Homo-oligomer: A and B are copies of this chain.
Amino acid sequence: MKNKFLLLALGLMTLSTYAQQDLFNEPALVSPEINPDNTVTFRVKAPLAQTVSVSGSLDGEHAFAPISYEMEKGDKGIWTFTTPELPSELYRYHFSIDSVRTVDPSNPYAIRDVSNLSNIFLVEGGKADMYKVQDVPHGTVAYRWYDSPGNDKKRRMAVYTPAGYEKTTDAYPVLYLLHGVGGDEEAWLGSGRAAQILDNLIAQGKAEPMIVVMTNGNVYQEASPGNGSSGFPKITFMLPNTMDGKFEETFVDAMKFIKENYRTKDTKASRAIAGLSMGGFHTANIALNYPNTFDYIGLFSSALGVPRNGVTSPMYENKDEKLRQQMENGYELYWMAIGEDDMDMILRGNESFRNQMDEMGMEYEYVETDGGHTWNNWRDYLVIFAQRLFK
């Protein structure tokens, strides 16, 4: 009777793409398989393929030239590859089958970065435990729409409220957390694991309960793909109006919405802003143009030093003067982190900014880590930065 039951269960699937004989003749592939020694085995069935490889962040997430590992063909057209022992981390990977990029058909969890889908897995027992859903109180993630008159559209943001927010009448501090090129309001929740990181840090008493606001930095969009009125658009590498001052200028719309819709501690001491890459560039400029607004500023691999020829915006004018004003106004923490293997342009841009601050006698903290322009680093930076806030 068991087979009959399975068959019926199968019958209820909305999109049965497995032929039934496949299901019953062979066990489903397990991929990835995290072995007891923290090596990881990948498997994919591709009987007609000439070459199959797996790549992603397996060797430490190189942003620009991920190493591809050739997989080996075995019985029944199943290709396999087993990694060396992997340190605890959240990993992403994909297959290339005869040079076509594809997700792992055996792994149901994939996330999008720019226009690419990658599968995800997690090796526990170390730092990645911070990215896991643990048995702790969980905050709420809400997708909210707000009016952005400055962009003449409604826009979507993600808002994390900490566990207990709904049960108290307390006011909370706010961290604005900005994504990079190719991301959107979902990036810090997907690749960034921000909700899990905050849940875990707060439960361990390492971070203050806070609201985390994740905007969409592409003002050309209302929302992430599928969630805006433009439907399911092609993602381009650099959307219009992405680094031309419009986001910074209209950030006031997002802040106004948060103030009016959440119980926030409405003081400079209770406001932080941080961003990665393009979002770090946005962060630096918002901090300059919204004087006396943020006591905590975090630049994660900030895209300083990126030439923006012909771009003009009031947001980008009189920067020296604004920076001096920011110094004079004061703040609790100006925190910059970057990976030593980041792009030269970015490293130089950050160095030049630090030099300017040094010459002015403007205080900051600077952390240089291993690795490059990667989510591995940005998750680390959030873990560190969040613990420094509102104390």
Whether A114 sits at the interface, judged by CB under 8 Å, is yes
Q: Is the CB of B231 within 8 A of A108?
A: no
Whether A45 sits at the interface, judged by CB under 8 Å, is yes
Interface residue count for A (Cβ, 8 Å)?
Answer: 105
Q: Which residues of B contact A25 (CB under 8 A)?
A: none
Which of A46-54, A80-88, A206-214, A247-255 is near enough to bind chain B? A46-54
| Least CB distance, A265 to chain B, in whole angstroms | 19
Q: Is the CB of B138 within 8 A of A17?
A: no
| Least CB distance, A321 to chain B, in whole angstroms | 26
Whether A298 sits at the interface, judged by CB under 8 Å, is no
With A14-B375, A92-B15 in contact, do A100 and B343 touch (Cβ < 8 Å)?
no
Q: CB within 8 A of A117: which of B10, B97, B110, B303?
A: B110
Whether A126 sits at the interface, judged by CB under 8 Å, is no
Whether A41 sits at the interface, judged by CB under 8 Å, is no
Q: CB within 8 A of A5: which of B44, B223, B309?
A: B309
Which of A233-241, A326-334, A355-363 is near enough to bind chain B? A233-241
| Least CB distance, A106 to chain B, in whole angstroms | 7
Alpha-carbon distance A166/B144, docked complex (angstroms): 11
Q: Is the CB of A114 within 8 A of B13?
A: yes
Whether A140 sits at the interface, judged by CB under 8 Å, is yes
Whether A121 sits at the interface, judged by CB under 8 Å, is yes
Q: Can you give 20 contacting A-B residue pairs, CB < 8 Å?
A: A5-B307, A9-B181, A12-B277, A12-B278, A12-B306, A13-B114, A13-B181, A14-B182, A16-B64, A17-B116, A45-B100, A46-B98, A46-B99, A97-B100, A98-B98, A100-B102, A108-B235, A109-B232, A110-B117, A121-B232
List A residues at the B interface (Cβ < 8 Å): 1, 4-6, 8-17, 28, 30, 44-50, 55-56, 63-64, 66, 92, 94, 97-103, 105-118, 120-122, 124, 132-135, 137-138, 140-145, 154, 156, 163, 166, 180-182, 191, 222-223, 225-229, 231-238, 261, 277-278, 303, 306-310, 343, 345-346, 373-375
